[in-house]
Amino acid sequence: MTDTSLPETQYIRAKDAPQRKIGVIKLYEPEDFEGMRRAGYIAASCLDMLHEHVKAGITTEALDTLAREFIYDHGATPACIGYRGYQHTVCTSINHVVCHGIPGEKVLKDGDIINIDVTAIKDGWHGDTSRMWAVGSVSRKAERLMDLTYECLMKAIDLVKPGAHLGDIGHACQAHAEANRCSVVRDFCGHGLGQLFHDEPNVVHFGTPGTGPELKPGMFFTIEPMVNDGKPGVKLLSDGWTAVTRDRSLSAQFEHSMGVTEDGVELFTVSPAGLHQPYKTPAA
């Protein structure tokens, strides 16, 4: 008897698929990588540009304005503006905010940690990336959490190649976080992207090796683990966007957009300025 409990993963050539979410994983062509490189370069360069501005005294709204102008100046558009009613270019998630913090009048202060997440659309292609910054000097606990979260992302990326499974990626993030007495958030995940912002598959940051869809050349997706220095539970604030840790523990996140190649992975959102862990390079 065959096991029918797990539906077989379906894939479709992206050029044969409608440009909407259809419950099937799209496989892009080698020439489509160039579009993703350009979009990813703009998103990563936008975060590089913000680096010198992330310091005590600036508002998150000012950072958002800088990012918006940068993206338009580079012939791209901010994917978040108008996305499900969101009105900003970046998400700014400070301290116990897990993700989707809304830019506003909040002023950065010494000791804060902040994730800035940006998505640019260039010629129809999406580049989605986020990093962590430290404002002034932060606690060792905060620095350790940011290191751990970056390591979770990179350990997961190391496993991306044809024949690997999404469960391998989730397991890598979860195992490393939990081995260090932290936890991974279950309520938000990475995602397929390309000509859509959020597409199949869901890329969860927990799981079991060898399970889940198999990675194939031409898959484009993000990995974006959120790691809490406490329990994994989150709650949504009344603004409908801001997600915070239930236990008010600190949370950190890093995100890259990537494509599966014939023999491994290509990252589309590498920092041109080498600011992969900007919290290690204080703003001037």
CB of 74 to ligand MF3, least distance (A): 18
Q: Which of 128, 168, 200, 229 binds ligand MF3 (CB under 6 A)?
A: 128
Using CA atoms, how far apart are residues 216 and 229, in angstroms rounded to an integer?
A: 34
Tokens of 191: 């995602």
Q: For residue 170, what are its two tokens?
A: 């989730």
Choose, by CB under 5 A, the member of 32, 64, 112, 128 that binds Co ion: 128
CA nearest neighbour of 219 among 202, 242, 236: 202
Residue tagged 């990336």 (tokens): 129
Which of the ranges 47-55, 83-91, 147-155, 157-165 carries the binding residues for ligand MF3, by CB under 6 A? 83-91
Q: Which residues pair with 65 in a beta bridge?
A: none
Alpha-carbon span 3 to 6, nearest angstrom = 7
Q: Residues 241-270 vs ligand MF3: string with x where CB under 6 A?
A: x-------------x---------------
| Distance from the Cα of residue 247 to its chain's centroid | 23
* DSSP element (H, E) containing 240: none
Is position 86 an interface residue for ligand MF3 (rule: CB under 6 A)?
yes
Give the interface segment with Co ion, choosing from 24-32, 51-59, 117-125, 237-245 (CB under 5 A). Answer: 117-125
- In terms of Cα–Cα distance, which of 70, 66, 64 is closest to 93? 64
Residues 216-255 that bind Co ion (CB under 5 A): 222, 255
> Is residue 83 within the footprint of ligand MF3 (CB under 6 A)?
yes
Q: Which does 83 bind (CB under 5 to 8 A by kind): ligand MF3, Co ion, none?
A: ligand MF3
Tell me how far apart the terminal alpha carbons of the chain are, to the nearest angstrom: 65
Minimum distance, C-beta of residue 127 to Co ion, in the bound complex (Å): 10
Among 60, 93, 95, 119, contact with ligand MF3 (rule: CB under 6 A): 119
CA dihedral 147, 149, 152, 157 (to 10 degrees): -100
Query: Is residue 80 within the footprint of ligand MF3 (CB under 6 A)?
Result: yes
Residues that bind ligand MF3 (CB under 6 A): 80, 83-84, 86, 91, 100, 117, 119, 128, 224, 241, 255
Residues that bind Co ion (CB under 5 A): 117, 128, 222, 255
